[in-house]
Structure 1
Amino acid sequence: MLTVEESITINKPRMEVWEFMTDPDNVPVYSSNVIEYELVSGGKQEVGRICRGAVKVAGRRLELTDEMVEVETGRTGKLVSKDATIPYTLSLHYEDEGEGTTLTWHQEMESLKGFFKFADPIVLKLYARDVRSNLEKAKTILEA
């Protein structure tokens, strides 16, 4: 199993960060590697919601459909791929940090099985850099 975990502290209240990050409409706003992402069914921040989209990783377009399988309002959310080029789970955790919020992105993926020209560790490093950049962009947007 391959894992990417990144954390960032955002100088906004936890609920404000949670609402922004769990709204599917905002995913393309803060994620530079997301080409498409749309709500297909369910409520935006509810268990069972389904989203469909595409991301670009290491120059390759990857299609995906994911489902929100766990939600603890203001604290955590977990997405699981239902149909994706590379199966994954993504958990976002929110913790109070003074007057701000520490947001932790934890994503697990199966082996990339030679899908890319590069070895798994190289692609993972490139993707982790994208995740870090996306979290920094979310921080900039939220703190503006």
Structure 2
Amino acid sequence: MSSPDTRQAPSFLIKQVARELIRRGEERLRPLGLGTAYLPIMVAVKNGDAATQADLARLLRVEQPSMAQLLGRMERDGFIRRKVDPSNRRSQIIELTALAVERLPQAYAALNEGNILAMTDFTPDEEAQFVAFLNRIQINLRSDV
């Protein structure tokens, strides 16, 4: 009995593709002073999905200390500011700065270049089906948590 080729396992392939997309995304975002880790936070704050460090950590499924470090870097780089939550003085509200609001559309465009490249030679139907498969995988993996 032969061993399965792990290089063809969906988890291996997804990880390899994710690494390459992140690498290319970092290259495209670097001129804007951004990193790929900043964008989910910026989008969540912009959309009103999260307002505090705890909210962001929960939403993005990262540990509080990791979120604190990332927010510290974003604050240092001028993309967020923190203000005391008037309803809970021990908590801080995260706000985007004007710089973040200005750079967000540029960041979307930069990352979209990577998506376009990745989906080259896919038909619109294939792309929609691929995205649907990825969403199903994500739901399956989160259902047992």
Query: TM above 0.5, one fold?
Result: no
Give the structure, 1 or 2, with the largest relative contact order (CA under 8 Å, sep 6 or more): 1
TM-score w.r.t. length of structure 1: 0.31
Q: Which is strand-richer, 1 or 2?
A: 1
Q: Which is helix-richer, 1 or 2?
A: 2
TM-score w.r.t. length of structure 2: 0.31
Q: Which has the larger radius of gyration?
A: 2
